[in-house]
Amino acid sequence: MVISARTLAAAATLAVSIVTFQADALAQTGRASWYALTSKTASGERCNPNALTAAHPSLPFGTKVRVDNLKNGKSVVVRINDRGPFVGGRIIDVTKAAARVLGFIGAGTAKVRLTVL
């Protein structure tokens, strides 16, 4: 079987596009907020404001995510156990404990980068 240079180039371009798409899917930038409820989460467990957990619209429950505060460089790893946020422009709700580590309790929200681990 003979494969042309054009076919190889197209395959290489497709492979790079897939890798880039996957890398982009693993990182997201936007605003985070925090919450300190003790009600049941969407996963069925009780929310613990002292735990390092978070709500995300679509990541599977149990997913570990590194959250980086882009203003001060602080970061924390949280486990997704809830759905949200339900306010436009926000990409994650973290617990009060996670917000404390990230240094934005007083501000209420922060610009963050999420990286799926």
* Mean predicted lDDT score pLDDT of the chain: 86
What's the whole-number mean pLDDT along residues 91-109?
97
What are the start-end ranges of the E strands in the chain?
Answer: 27-35, 53-55, 64-69, 75-82, 90-95, 109-116
Instruction: Tell me the two tokens of residue 109.
Output: 């929200």
Higher-confidence residue of 97 and 1: namely 97
54 vs 51: CA distance, rounded Å = 9
Which CATH fold would you assign to the domain 28-116?
Barwin-like endoglucanases (2.40.40)
Ordered by start, the domain boundaries in the chain are 28-116
35 vs 38: CA distance, rounded Å = 9
Render pLDDT for 5-50 as a digit per residue (tens, 0 to 9): 454 444 444 444 444 334 445 789 999 999 998 999 999 999 999 9
Q: What is the pTM of this model?
A: 0.77
Percent residues over pLDDT 90 in the chain: 74
43 vs 9: CA distance, rounded Å = 45
What's the whole-number mean pLDDT along residues 52-72?
97
* Residue 13 φ then ψ, to 5°: -65, -45
Percent residues over pLDDT 70 in the chain: 79
Q: Which of 47, 55, 67, 81 is nearest to 117 (CA)?
A: 67
